[in-house]
Structure 1
Amino acid sequence: MPTRRDGTTGRPLPASAPWFDRRPDAASSTATGPRPGDNDREATTTGGQATAHRCDTMQQLTHLVLIMGAALAGGLLASRLNMPGSVIIGAMLGVIVLKLCLAAPLALPRQWSLFIQIVVGATVGSRFSMDMLQQLRHYAVPILISALLLILLGSVMAVVFTKFWGIDPGTAFISTSPGAMTAMTGMAGGLNVDIFLVLTFHITRVILVILLAPAIMRISRMFL
């Protein structure tokens, strides 16, 4: 029976040597150095990845220019209507028309979502004034009662919409919550809910308030 030898040192292995100490022969071992053509394949892979990254960047920039251009045109056009929320509604409709005309899945880069939320927050914060604090001190009780009742009513409607219409709970709550359309839309983007459905709820609310407010004010003056 031939003597078993270590594949690296050439020394004989003892008969009791376990299987994991029996190293393979040098002839059967896999070479660790680079094989011919490895460098070419790596260069090709790296070049392909760089090209794909450049194409993806150009696609994002193209989507950004198209979307912002359509939003700007729609917002400026709708601002002539002098209606509350007309700018955001016009921008939204401009982008929708663009997507319908191109039939392409246009989307803003993810980084812009954070930037837009910051702009919305800055817009809401810039409306703060010291007069608001004075009014809050004088009308604190009716302001709190009104806000709490509207939040409670919105929560009840959110539960109903979730149970019977299958709307996501977060989307239903933001959609039925009282607040400015711009602020609610920005909050929807931060909470990762259905922004389009939230915006649809609040657009409908704003339109109905604009249409019904004059009649409601006339009726209220008759009884108050």
Structure 2
Amino acid sequence: MHSPTQPPVPEPLARLRPSLQWALLIALSVLFAGLLEGARLPAALLVGPMMAAIVCGTNGARMRVPQPAFGAAQTIVGCLVAASIEPEILSAFLDDWPLFLLAVIATVCASSFLGYLISRWKVLPGTTAVWGSAPGAATAMVLMADAFGADARLVAFMQYLRVIFVSVAAALIARMFVDTSDVEAPALIWFPDIDGPAFAATILVAVAGGSLGYLLRLPSPYFLGTMMLGATVHLGAGITMQLPEWLLAISYALVGWSIGLNFNRAILRHATRALRQIVLSILALMVFCGGLAWLLVLLLDIDPLTAYLATSPGGMDSVAIIAAASDTVNISFIMALQMVRFLFVLIFGPPISRLVARRIGG
């Protein structure tokens, strides 16, 4: 109940019809995603709609993404992750697997410790900071964090803020070793020719994987069920999946809206108050990973840019684009270390979260 001296803050969108609220949300999503794409910032197709949804949610919008649509979007993200796991990554991993595991475990331990400190100091509630600090797999961490009881809104805030920090830093450091000024991300083809068998395989994997995850009662069932089934058929049977850009854009928007529309002014104020600690934890993790890169240079005699991009804690898409700009870096090594860490976090994120929850008594 508001006191007479503190009248309720007006929420202008609460008076609009749902159809107008949706129209505004879509328009803002297109605008924000376009601006982020123009600035070459990563994950624009997800972060843009999420920002638009936060604006609408904190101004009184009451609409929500239907649960079946959100589940379908998660299955497409699961297909995307499964399709990105290639056999070449395994061979690159086997060549230097002890150092790979050491680098991955060290990074995950450092990020988990930073998340533990933020949780212990009551900066963020529960295990939210642990999920938010997890290196890489930003979208997957947000989806899984929600399934394990963490605040997905604050996890998303931490994850995508770090993705932006890391991607900008990687681009700046890359310019010390190679001129990337003329390198652009591949042009987006929104409506490619549909490969019938590959697209059908994607839909079948999404439907079957989501159903399997639900029946097995997996955490984040639609994402994890689809990812596991998709990886099995992709690596085991060599089945190719097609994920056209329009399908990814719709799925990213649904995920971003589902997160952003749950923001309110109180949670936004909380995120703003924690901004300084979150930024410091991001910078600390980046410095730690820079130290790991330096050790890889000494131990493996690889070039500094390869080492830095391989250990960079997030922004895998941006790292791949930057790596492609140089003829001197070892792209297989970079993507293998990034993917191994990605899979490690997916597998061990839940038990690490439970361990921290026990430690902080939450």
**TM value normalised by structure 2:** 0.39
Structure 2: tracts of 5 or more residues without a match? 1-16, 178-293, 295-303, 308-362
Offset, 1:91: 1.4
Structure 1 stretches of 4+ with a deviation exceeding 6 A read 59-66
Offset, 1:129: 1.4
State the secondary structure of the residue aligned to 1:106. Answer: coil
Counting only pairs closer than 5 Å after superposition, residues 125-204 of structure 1 correspond to structure 2 as 125-204=82-161
Map Cα deviations across residues 172-218 of structure 1 (whole Å, 9 max, x no partner).
21111111322222222333421221111122212221332345453
**TM value normalised by structure 1:** 0.59
Offset, 1:80: 3.3
The Cα RMSD (Å) is: 3.2
Query: Paired residue for 2:54?
Result: 96
* Alignment check: 8 A CA contact 1:70 1:94 kept: yes
Q: How many residue pairs were aligned?
A: 164
Query: Paired residue for 2:170?
Result: 213
The structure number with the bigger radius of gyration is: 1
| Selected match of 1:80 from 12, 28, 38 | 38
Q: Give the number of the structure with larger relative contact order, counting CA–CA contacts within 8 Å between residues 6 or more apart.
A: 2
* Alignment check: 8 A CA contact 2:145 2:151 kept: yes
Query: Paired residue for 2:271?
Result: none
Cα separation, partners in 2 of 1:107 and 1:152, compared to 1, 3 Å:
same
Offset, 1:92: 0.8
* Alignment check: 8 A CA contact 2:132 2:156 kept: yes
Counting only pairs closer than 5 Å after superposition, residues 98-113 of structure 1 correspond to structure 2 as 98-100=56-58, 103-113=60-70
State the secondary structure of the residue aligned to 1:165. Answer: coil
* Alignment check: 8 A CA contact 1:63 1:107 kept: no
Give the aligned residue type for 2:159. Answer: H
2 CA distance for matches of 1:147 and 1:134?
Answer: 17
2 CA distance for matches of 1:84 and 1:66?
Answer: 24
Cα separation, partners in 2 of 1:172 and 1:166, compared to 1, 3 Å:
same
